[in-house]
Chain A
């Protein structure tokens, strides 16, 4: 087990190195991508300042809390985009249709791992890193102090939420085995993910459930922030952890079934 973890870390280290080298091959591209993160950050800041010039709370959250939630969502989404979302999108577009999955399936590494993490978008990393400054600033502005127990439960929820978001997106990626134009699905998910910037609780209940379970965007920022500010309870915590286990097992099963029916493409 330990050996396996080291192996995957070594492989990921090598992949990251190649991704950085690829980024550096195209200097102008690297600069534009890195700048994009800061432009996005500046744009978001201006919009939020405009919104909160008119109101001080939204769905029971005050300005500083909302800013923390927005910051956390954006940081998390930035890391998701950097490390695996682009790979899943690419896999859905060409992985099965072009037969590029063939070379992945013959490697002595989990195919899900290679599909998800084979080409991190290192140029995008400036985006979450920039937003981290925003997050830290607004954490500083929160009036209520964050307790140790809420910090611990926040960490547990963050880990569980990361598993949920990854495994749900990975399960959606398996649609590529069944649909020719599956990339549209992931584009729709990305559009919905934009709604994760707002406290999911402001939406009507059916939409809230949809944003939490069908499209797990509530787990990108909303639920972790709920626990960070001590608004969660042990029932919700255990539900989130159980949901992480369920989505993990579900993605395993769906991939096993999908890989079994993989037909490759003609040469």
Chain B
């Protein structure tokens, strides 16, 4: 089946939770027995976006931003408070079997494998649950095992595997039915850098091989940078950016970085006249300058100071996003 138009479509999605607040201490606990103050938490507030077939989209946000809640609504675990949601043409919370056979949700912190048995046994159970024909099962399993290089470990008890090995097996279990849509929630959490790279390469290969649409949330910007052209940034339930990852630099980076190698020592005060000093350890100095003035200030430095080398650099996406979140929380505090 080919999908015309977006695979995933969200319009004005809202998901609010009611939580109650309690005063600390025993008295607070006793009081809360008959009087509870409820507060509405807007986990997702008026979020809209569309995702086209085959896209890999990075879903970026701080803890509690609403990323996982959105994924849970998209996979039918949660009912939205309001808004329209369509995944592969289905309402996810109808939880129709035809829909469930076409997507997979992988949560880095949860496991679905039988703990006391080799992962292969769980694969066979998923084969029965998803009604995967024998030939397709063998073909997909062999392909996935080869991509992840796990031929040997699938026969070992899951509880004896390392976190990275277990995550590989979790991915295989989730992908045996060839889902068209894949929701990956922190798939590389807790893994070492080598294993992170292995999983990233695998996700990329899976996307290319099966044309799957993937939404990925991760705290590691490396995951997003390596896998996603497009990013959606969410903060306190609000979407604050949706576009190509590179655009985040143009849109949110207020500064550029001037990296200098000085030939003659200058004071902090003299250097400060050109911009905000980030690092100064003679002869090397790094200063932040407003983006629009970067070229002019670089010229000025070359004229006024004795400099061996000047470089104008863009800040890293990680730094921009960190700055973006900090500025958002500063705005909220105001």
User: When the two chains form their complex, are residues B68 and A25 in contact, meaning their CB atoms are under 8 A apart?
Assistant: no
CA distance A99 to B98 in the complex (A): 24
Does A14 lie within 8 Å of B68, measured CB to CB? no
Partner of A99, one of B100, B110, B128: B110
Contact with B along A94-113 (1 / 0, CB 8 A): 00000110110111110000
Contact partner of B116 (CB less than 8 A), chosen from A15, A25, A106, is A25
Give CA–CA (A106, B99) in the complex, Å: 9
Q: Which residues of A contact B77 (CB under 8 A)?
A: 102, 105-106, 262, 264
Q: Is the CB of A21 within 8 A of B121?
A: yes
B130 to chain A, nearest CB (A): 6
| B residues in contact with A11, CB < 8 Å | 125, 128-129
A253 to chain B, nearest CB (A): 16
Asked whether B50 is an interface residue with its Cβ less than 8 Å from the other chain, the reply is: no
Task: Please report which residues of chain A, range 151-204, place their CB below 8 angstroms from some CB of chain B when the two chains form the complex.
Answer: none
* Contact residues in B for A109 (Cβ distance below 8 Å): 97, 129
Chain A residues closer than 8 Å to B68, beta-carbon distance: 266-267
Distance in angstroms between the alpha carbons of A205 and B265 in the assembled complex:
99
Q: Which of the segments B101-109, B203-211, B279-287 contacts the partner chain?
A: B101-109
Minimum Cβ distance to chain A for residue B8 (Å) = 15
* B128→A102 contact, CB < 8 A: no
CB distance B100 to A108 under 8 Å? Answer: yes
Asked whether A260 is an interface residue with its Cβ less than 8 Å from the other chain, the reply is yes
CA distance A107 to B109 in the complex (A): 18
Max chain A C-beta neighbours (<10 A), residue from B68, B103, B110: B110
User: Which of B109, B117, B124 has the most C-beta atoms of chain A within 10 angstroms of its own C-beta?
Assistant: B117
Contacts of B201 on A, CB cut-off 8 Å?
none
Q: How large is the interface on A (under 10, 10 to 19, 20 to 34, 35 or more residues)?
A: 20 to 34
- Determine if B186 is an interface residue (Cβ-Cβ < 8 Å): yes
B79 within 8 A of A: yes
Kindly supply a per-residue 1/0 record for chain B positions 112-138, scoring 1 wherever the CB is within 8 Å of any chain A CB and 0 otherwise.
101011000110110111110000000
Q: Is the CB of A7 within 8 A of B78?
A: no
CB within 8 Å for A264 and B72 given contacts A22-B114, A25-B157, A106-B105: yes
| Size category of the binding interface on chain B | 35 or more
Q: A107 near B100 (CB under 8 angstroms)?
A: yes
Residues of chain B with a CB closer than 8 A to A106's CB? 75-77, 100, 103-105
In the assembled complex, B17 has its CB within 8 A of some CB on chain A: yes
Rounded to whole Å, the gap between the CB of A266 and the closest CB of chain B is 7
Docked CA distance A139–B110 (Å): 50
Set A10, A13, A263: member contacting B78, Cβ < 8 A: A263
A97-138 residues with Cβ-Cβ distance < 8 A to B are 99-100, 102-103, 105-109
**Which chain A residue has the least Cβ–Cβ distance from B93?**
A260
Question: Which residues of chain A come closer than 8 Å to B322, judged between CB atoms?
Answer: none
B95 touches A105 (CB 8 A): yes
Minimum distance in angstroms from A4 CB to a CB of chain B: 9
Query: Which A residues between 9 and 35 are near B, CB-CB below 8 angstroms?
Result: 10-11, 13-15, 18, 21-22, 25-26
Q: Which residues of A contact B128 (CB under 8 A)?
A: 7, 10-11, 13-14
Contact B97 A108 (CB under 8 A): yes
CB pair B129 A108 closer than 8 Å:
yes
The residues of B with any CB-CB pair to A shorter than 8 Å are 17, 64, 68, 72, 75-79, 95, 97-98, 100-101, 103-105, 107, 109-110, 112, 114, 116-117, 121-122, 124-125, 127-131, 157, 185-186
25 contacts between A and B (CB under 8 A): A11-B125, A11-B128, A14-B128, A15-B125, A21-B117, A22-B114, A22-B116, A25-B157, A99-B110, A100-B110, A102-B107, A102-B110, A103-B110, A103-B112, A105-B76, A106-B75, A106-B103, A106-B104, A107-B130, A108-B129, A108-B130, A260-B79, A263-B17, A264-B77, A264-B78
Which A residues form the contact surface with B (CB < 8 A)? 7, 10-11, 13-15, 18, 21-22, 25-26, 99-100, 102-103, 105-109, 260, 262-264, 266-267
Closest 5 CB pairs of A and B: A108-B97, A108-B100, A14-B128, A103-B112, A267-B68
